[in-house]
């Protein structure tokens, strides 16, 4: 299963001493690089001109994803949103089925 994980810093981050925050950020990014090297993170990036970023994560289940995220050193400083992803071919098949069903309803 693939998931889009959007994270933005909580406002409390601004109240954390900069030296402490830098260490947490470095640990957090190193943890994410480790997940990337394991093939768990397949894409990532930061939002241009904004605070925060995203990850595309491969996980066997929502529980596995939750475990990965909860072990990340900086997650307690992040607001996190998670979206399950499907590929475009799956979406096309769904749309074709919907089109067939709609055609049946219109004829009825």
pLDDT tens per residue across span 10-55: 988 778 788 888 888 899 999 999 999 999 999 999 999 998 999 9
pLDDT at 108: 61
Domains of the chain from N-terminus onward: 2-107 (3.30.70.1060)
Cβ contact 77:24 at 8 Å: yes
User: For tokens 């066997």, what's the residue?
Assistant: 60
Give the chain's count of helices (H) and strands (E). Answer: 3, 4
CB atoms within 10 A of CB 7: 22
What is the value of pTM for the model shown? 0.80
Phi, psi of 26 (to 5 degrees): -60, -45
What are the pLDDT digits (tens) for 65-79? Answer: 999 999 999 998 999
Residue 32: burial class (beta carbons within 10 Å; 0-12, 13-18, 19+): buried
């Amino acid at each position: 299963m693939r998931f889009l994980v959007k994270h933005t810093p909580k406002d409390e981050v601004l109240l954390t001493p900069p030296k402490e925050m830098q260490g947490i950020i470095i640990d957090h990014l190193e943890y994410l690089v480790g997940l990337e090297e394991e093939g768990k993170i397949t894409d990532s990036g930061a939002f241009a001109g904004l605070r925060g970023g995203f990850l595309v994560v491969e996980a066997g289940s929502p529980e596995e994803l939750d475990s990965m995220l909860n072990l990340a050193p900086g997650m307690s400083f992040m607001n996190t949103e998670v979206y399950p992803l499907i590929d475009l071919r799956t979406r096309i098949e769904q749309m074709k089925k919907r089109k067939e069903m709609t055609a049946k309803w219109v004829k009825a």
